[in-house]
Amino acid sequence: MIDKSSMENSLPYLEAELSLFPNVKVMMLMEDVAKKAFNMITKKATKKNAIPAVSTYKWRSSEIYYKGIRVMPSYIMTGGNILIEKSKVTMATEDISAMLKIIRILLNQIE
């Protein structure tokens, strides 16, 4: 678990990195640290969280947008938890597949 102060100290770097991709249309947040860091950024800008603070499985199939970007909460596919909760592998795979489908649709709109 990463403590809040470490996340807060890292936010300027994450914001700078995200700014390198101004044309992002879909973003997958894999696991709680990514969701929390993204919410810290969105809360600073809008005074509210982009991703509700509830379990990922309740929101993973919802369409959540922040500044025109489709934000998809999901699960990370590494670590000990993946060995314990094998259903997370299936859910993360489904989420990646859904993200790829969105990207393909967006690419077809550009062509």
Per-residue pLDDT reduced to its tens digit, 27-76? 999 888 888 999 999 999 899 999 887 777 777 778 889 999 999 888 87
pTM: 0.79
Of residues 22 and 79, more confidence is placed in 22
- Domain count for the chain: 1
By DSSP bridging, strand 69-74 and strand 26-30 are parallel
For residue 98, give its domain range: 4-110
Work out the number of other CB atoms within 10 angstroms of the CB of residue 56: 19
SS3 91: helix
User: How is residue 17 written in tokens?
Assistant: 């990195």
User: How is residue 79 written in tokens?
Assistant: 């670590």
